[in-house]
Structure 1
Amino acid sequence: MTSVTDRIYGNPDISAEGYVVVDDYFGKPYIDQDEIRERPSPHRFVHGGFENTDTRFAFYFPSAESYRGRMFQPLEGGHGGNEVSFGGGILGEMFQRIALSESLGGYMVESNQGHIGDALDPRAGDDPSLYGWRASTESARFSKFIAEQVYGAAPRYAYIYGGSGGGRRSPMCLENAPDVYDGCMPSTSGGEIAEHGNNKRVKSGGPIGFGQMFNVQRLLGREKLMAVADAMSPGGSGNPFAGLSVNEAEELALLYRIGFPRGNESMILEPMGQIWLWTSLADQLLEEDPEYFSDFWSKPGYIGFDKPELVNGDLINTEAMVKRIITARDLNEKAEYSGAEFQTMRIFAAMIGSAGPVYDMPYALELEGIDGGYRLGTGVRIVSGDAAGRSMYASGVAGNVFTLDGRGEANTKRLTGVQVGDRVQVDNRAFLAFCYYARHHLLEDVQFDSLRVDGQPIYPQNFVPTMSPLMGNCYSAQYEGKLLWIHHTHDSSLWPANGLLYAQGVERVQGAEAARKKFCIRWTENAEHGPPSIVPPEPRRASTTRLVDFTGIYEQSLADLVDWVENDHYPLATKYEHLDGRIILPDTAEERGGIQPVVKVTAGGGDRIEIRCGEEVELTVKAALAEGAGKIVSVQWDFDGSGSYPFSHKDIDGSQSAVSLTVRHRFEQPGTWFVTALVHSHRKGDCSATRARAANLAQARVVVTPN
């Protein structure tokens, strides 16, 4: 095997001298690191920044023999703020973006997108263009200057992509820097469309809808929400409203109408991207929209005034004392935090561990002197000690343990400086008002049509705040090059309706014919905002039995974007319908299109069967691909919801684009079991391939009763 030291990484002598910035906001570029690294895959690592700015960059150059004249630039999600995200730590190992770039004949670029952590660049302030696209594009331009020195030739083609917040900002780079990029692949994002060249901070329905999700969580609680999830699972009743009060049913129905994905209700109990957005935006919302947070409690037309009994039982407004300080490492490595109630907190803590020293920063605290109330999202303000005045919000709660985050200093310092014995003010009044935010902050998007009658809002309306400037400025939907949009049907952080906004904008701005040539959308069925490995399980279903890892679809789609840009081969698009807040995909592969297998599972001929202990049941899977999408390369079964997939069909050889397979299984224990067939396909039918494997799955319910 060739070692990292045996590989050739181009010209060993590189220099920033001679580069002339295009955007004169940026000072001279500098390089402060140039070294060979082994992990997450072998590469030459070049790090630096631009003088007189907070912009930092990292370039990852694989071996010279793999270079075919391409540059790939993934953008970190959330607000960004880290220039070594996909090139190191947990995310680097998980997604292997350097190796992906190398396999496609290119090197990789990252930047912190103009800021360090969640702190604004002091010179730029709240200018969204810097964070949206200017820092990323100047970093990309400079990378081409260095790549020419490393490889002897600058890249001929450049591609930018990203998910979530990175998906929010990557189209802005394509729109505003046609000299830099040829193709763009955003995923699971969305936002407002404005005129080309605008510098407006974006309004988004995402955080507005999240308040409604939190309200459903608050009102229904775990037991009722798990019953809702069961009803909407394969073989369930299909009626999520059974057993709910009038108020509970109305709140859940509104959540569905504004776009929460059916079939993913258990995630209402396990907020991830949604609660992060609240913690990062809360102070800004309170500053820009103070009337709402006052009106909610004091004026007719608002629940807090008209029906206080719906919120008063959950109120918290009290002083408490810090009993213990907890780091992210503590949450993941100490036995006392290994219980199920800490699971989502541990996942968050592991994710920030990719940022190195942050892993050992004070990240959570245990409070003393707080009783009752609804605690998720609650505000915690330090009132004594060295950190007095710092305001944060609860991103996770387990008993009296709170993980906390906020904006600016609250994000970069977290609980640094807080000591045991310090006093804090715990106040959830703002968060309870946020739970009803959607009614009173309507965007024009069809997502909110259910809250209007004849075009008129049903409830009093308040000023709609913008998102953080770190999310960038509004889209224009005007661009050169090609754009392949990826969105997921089960995304609880960027709901499926968000995937329509840019598609509609391109057609409106550039016209239907241009949209057909320059825009393509692919839907990934049964995929969440992140991989299943970071999604908490349901009681009887591991996350890997109801959600798929979209990494292979992402990898194949990036290769398809390259083929589209360089060879004009239009990608396989997915057909869909948007109805009542829901994305509906056709039932057959021929009608649906795209590159993902279409999978159906039956148990005894249906999606549900009831049997006795010891009985054997016939399980059937049918899977098919659209023409040109590839061949099926594996079919596996999980019988008990554990996610182990112990059975594989050995006769799959990569030659078929459609299969119908049967297996028989005996259930020896009573209970409800979700049997799952997991199907992978590959464009070339390579059964041994480890990359670009497109996954999908389907389930049936087996209810086993005692003899």
Structure 2
Amino acid sequence: MIINPVLARHGRIGLLAATLLLGTGLGSAIPAKAAAPDCATVAGAMQITADCIDPLYTKPVIDSETDETAPVAHHRIRAHFEGTNIQFNVYFHAKQDLGKWEGRFFQYTYPTAFTPEEDTSQADDRAVGFALSSGGYAVQAGNKSLALGYRHTAAAAKFAETLAAKYYGSDRKISGYLYGPSGGTYQTIGATENSTGVWQGFVPMVQGVPQPTSYNFLGRSAAELILGDKSEQIRNALLPGGSGNPYAGLDAAEQAMLKEVHALGIPWKGWEFPDYLLGRSDQYPNGLDSSAPLSFDPSYANDFWNAPGYLGTETSPLGVRVRAELAKMGDTVDNRWNIANRFYYRYQTPPASEGWVGLQQFLKADGTPLYPQRPVKDPGFYGFVSGNTAFDGSINGKVIVVDNLYDTDALPLHADWYRKRVEASLGNAASDSYRIYYNDHADHQNAPVSGERAKHLVNWYGMAEQALRDLAAWSENGVQPPASTDYKINDAQVSVPDNAAARRGIQPTVDLTVQGNESTTIKAGQSIKLNAKAQVPPGAGAVVKADWDLDGDGVYTNAPLTQIGNVVTLQTDATFAKPGTYLVALRVSSERTGDPSATFALAQNLDRVQVVVTPGG
């Protein structure tokens, strides 16, 4: 009997898989073969190869197989690893569509289920539909609570290959691509630094990194305390047609806080949705602060309020303000912790050589810290989420990072921090394996964009899907993906060129004007002319769709295109019946092949202008 090479190379998993496949319609008995070696562990991180065995995941068990119709026709296999809480699902093409498989798979990963009903082992409709339409099957592994690290994803991927070889009736080489957002990027980077041969490429989306403290959240919490009642004022200054000066009207303490929070790298663009930035939205029902003592540093709050060098004793305007806030709340133990916790990031300052640009504002000219340093370090959660990954940039396989310029959770600055580590690790070869794409008008959330958020944000997920397709073409056929986004770091802020050709990456740019400017004042009933130019970066496709939001309510209507191309111009006239201030928007979508009917891998962007309408007369 000929042993399928894909089955054989997975040792114990492959042999047990063949046994489990009996009676499922997928397989027959496979002769015994020498067991593969156990995977090695180096510096606390298990090194996974295509041939080694992870001792935690040696017994995959198929629970059920079904032919399903939604979101498209497919064959689904549900399974679990015996002795663990890890389940996984594999989604193959329907029998009538076997010819659409191109020898690859796409695998989404995320560590946490947020509700008791959620199960991170089940792919959502979009993940399934995208994978099947992109020549791949889908794999997803997890459970209903925490599924940490990359080991369970690797075990599921390897077992799924044994299923795929039999289901598709092929012994072709299978290429795999792992992707995940936010906490899933810790798992994705864990996989690329600590595995070889399981996946060929990786797409970390809205990338998280193991920062010294959670200063992105703490800084926003500090801003909520000091700037909460000035949030709309700051927002309005930064909107199209605003003054452009967010410091206007702020006192000395507020100006100091605003400068400090953005020197951390928290994007100015976050003020578009101030409730999210400050932790007052539904996504943060408990806010960003905590009144509970830091378990790893129980003496911190007492020092904050009593020891020299801490903000609680500082004579600066900001120090005076925090003491006033404590008096306003009431001088209790809980309130002392509440305020002190928000500023913990000031007292965990790494040396400049570690590359934390946002914390260098707390270093003196000679490189020593401005403020007292805590003797213990924030343990963070990065280690156990990532599988004790070093985050040293030693990637195996191709990597395309998709990051967003409005993201106040996973800061745009942090993706640059990891890029530098990759370049230090790989040297000149980094460009052969690494890309980074920054997206404008996109934040951390990957849910459908609607309501208030649709007024200033686009759905960035299509750009991640295009990155996955580019990754497959790059890995399998050597097709170079578009160049990385060209960007600069200024005062810890990531800035990009306005023009698509100069910006590069894969997102289109939009330049919208009203009467030739970014704002205008008219009377009710008066007509105005809106003009726009949309452009696609080199090699990134063509504009295939445009939508207007003429009254600024976040609801878009289709703008028929007279042309499809890499440069598109649009214009329209608009009138406003009622006085008010309107942020008029144009949103465009581009697609790599110029297909206006495409569902997946659409790259979106938008631009807005301000129209102030006064009473008619």
Q: Which residue of 2 aligns with 1:156?
A: 174
> What amino acid sits opposite 1:657 in the alignment?
N
* 1:526 and 2:438 correspond: no
2: distance between equivalents of 1:220 and 1:145?
56
1:279 Cα shift?
7.7
- Out of 85, 88, 93, the position equivalent to 1:54 is 85
Equivalent runs, 1:678-689 vs 2, <5 Å:
678-689=587-598
Conserved 8 A contact 1:40-1:87: no
SS at match of 1:458: coil
Q: Extract unaligned runs of 5+ from structure 2.
A: 1-22, 37-51
SS at match of 2:164: helix
- Count of matched residue positions in the alignment of Structure 1 and Structure 2: 552
> What amino acid sits opposite 1:571 in the alignment?
P
Q: Which residue of 1 aligns with 2:235?
A: 229
1: distance between equivalents of 2:420 and 2:363?
21
2: distance between equivalents of 1:291 and 1:37?
57
2: distance between equivalents of 1:531 and 1:480?
27
* 1:215 and 2:228 correspond: no
SS at match of 2:295: helix
Equivalent runs, 1:354-365 vs 2, <5 Å:
none
Q: Which residue of 1 aligns with 2:9?
A: none
1:38 Cα shift?
3.5
Q: Which residue of 2 aligns with 1:442?
A: 349
1: distance between equivalents of 2:302 and 2:112?
29
* 1:564 and 2:474 correspond: yes
1: distance between equivalents of 2:556 and 2:287?
37
1:564 Cα shift?
0.6
Conserved 8 A contact 1:77-1:164: no
Aligned pair in 2 of structure 1 residues 68, 597: CA closer, same or farther (>3 Å)?
same
1:518 Cα shift?
0.8
Equivalent runs, 1:205-604 vs 2, <5 Å:
207-222=214-229, 224-270=230-276, 271=279, 275=284, 286-306=294-314, 307=319, 309-313=323-327, 315=329, 427=334, 429-443=336-350, 444=354, 445-454=356-365, 455-462=367-374, 463-468=376-381, 469-472=383-386, 473=388, 474-511=390-427, 513-531=428-446, 533=448, 542-572=452-482, 573-604=484-515
- Out of 103, 120, 138, the position equivalent to 1:69 is 103
Q: Structure 1, residues 184-243: CA drift from partner, whole Å, max 9, x if none?
A: 11111132xxxxxxxxxxx42572221111121222224x20111111111111111111
Q: Extract unaligned runs of 5+ from structure 1.
A: 1-9, 121-130, 192-202, 319-425
> What amino acid sits opposite 1:144 in the alignment?
E
1:669 Cα shift?
1.0
2: distance between equivalents of 1:97 and 1:286?
39
2: distance between equivalents of 1:556 and 1:665?
34
Conserved 8 A contact 2:184-2:204: yes
Aligned pair in 2 of structure 1 residues 279, 248: CA closer, same or farther (>3 Å)?
closer
1:642 Cα shift?
1.2
SS at match of 1:699: strand
1:278 Cα shift?
8.2
> What amino acid sits opposite 1:207 in the alignment?
S
RMSD: 3.0
Aligned pair in 2 of structure 1 residues 206, 611: CA closer, same or farther (>3 Å)?
farther
1: distance between equivalents of 2:503 and 2:377?
37
Q: Structure 1, residues 666-691: CA drift from partner, whole Å, max 9, x if none?
A: 12211110111111111111122222
Q: Which residue of 1 aligns with 2:13?
A: none
Equivalent runs, 1:44-193 vs 2, <5 Å:
44-64=75-95, 65=98, 66-76=100-110, 84-85=119-120, 87=122, 92-93=124-125, 96-112=126-142, 117-118=145-146, 131-153=148-170, 156-191=174-209
1:84 Cα shift?
3.8
> What amino acid sits opposite 1:665 in the alignment?
A
1:175 Cα shift?
1.8
1:500 Cα shift?
0.6
1: distance between equivalents of 2:158 and 2:348?
40
> What amino acid sits opposite 1:85 in the alignment?
T
Greater mean alpha carbon deviation, residues 305-314 or residues 143-152: 305-314
Conserved 8 A contact 1:27-1:53: no
1:591 Cα shift?
1.0
1:615 Cα shift?
1.3
Conserved 8 A contact 2:26-2:163: no
Q: Which residue of 2 aligns with 1:3?
A: none
* 1:666 and 2:609 correspond: no
2: distance between equivalents of 1:665 and 1:274?
35
> What amino acid sits opposite 2:120 in the alignment?
S
Q: Structure 1, residues 32-60: CA drift from partner, whole Å, max 9, x if none?
A: 23333344443333233223333332222
1:442 Cα shift?
2.1
SS at match of 1:264: helix
Aligned pair in 2 of structure 1 residues 639, 575: CA closer, same or farther (>3 Å)?
same
2: distance between equivalents of 1:251 and 1:15?
67
Aligned pair in 2 of structure 1 residues 268, 478: CA closer, same or farther (>3 Å)?
same
Conserved 8 A contact 1:161-1:170: yes
Quote the sequence identity (%): 31
Aligned pair in 2 of structure 1 residues 281, 99: CA closer, same or farther (>3 Å)?
farther
Q: Structure 1, residues 552-610: CA drift from partner, whole Å, max 9, x if none?
A: 21221111110110111221121111111111111222211112111111111111111
Aligned pair in 2 of structure 1 residues 219, 599: CA closer, same or farther (>3 Å)?
same
> What amino acid sits opposite 2:358 in the alignment?
Q
Conserved 8 A contact 2:179-2:203: yes
2: distance between equivalents of 1:80 and 1:614?
48
Aligned pair in 2 of structure 1 residues 42, 603: CA closer, same or farther (>3 Å)?
same
SS at match of 1:453: coil
SS at match of 1:438: helix
> What amino acid sits opposite 2:591 in the alignment?
H
Conserved 8 A contact 1:11-1:149: no
1: distance between equivalents of 2:114 and 2:500?
37
1:274 Cα shift?
8.3
1: distance between equivalents of 2:129 and 2:208?
28
TM-score by length of structure 2 reads: 0.83
1: distance between equivalents of 2:290 and 2:137?
34
> What amino acid sits opposite 1:165 in the alignment?
G
2: distance between equivalents of 1:281 and 1:218?
12
1:80 Cα shift?
8.7
Q: Which residue of 1 aligns with 2:521?
A: 610
SS at match of 1:606: coil
TM-score by length of structure 1 reads: 0.73
Aligned pair in 2 of structure 1 residues 568, 289: CA closer, same or farther (>3 Å)?
farther
Aligned pair in 2 of structure 1 residues 550, 606: CA closer, same or farther (>3 Å)?
same
Conserved 8 A contact 2:203-2:464: no
Q: Which has the higher contact order (CA 8 A, sep 6+)?
A: 1
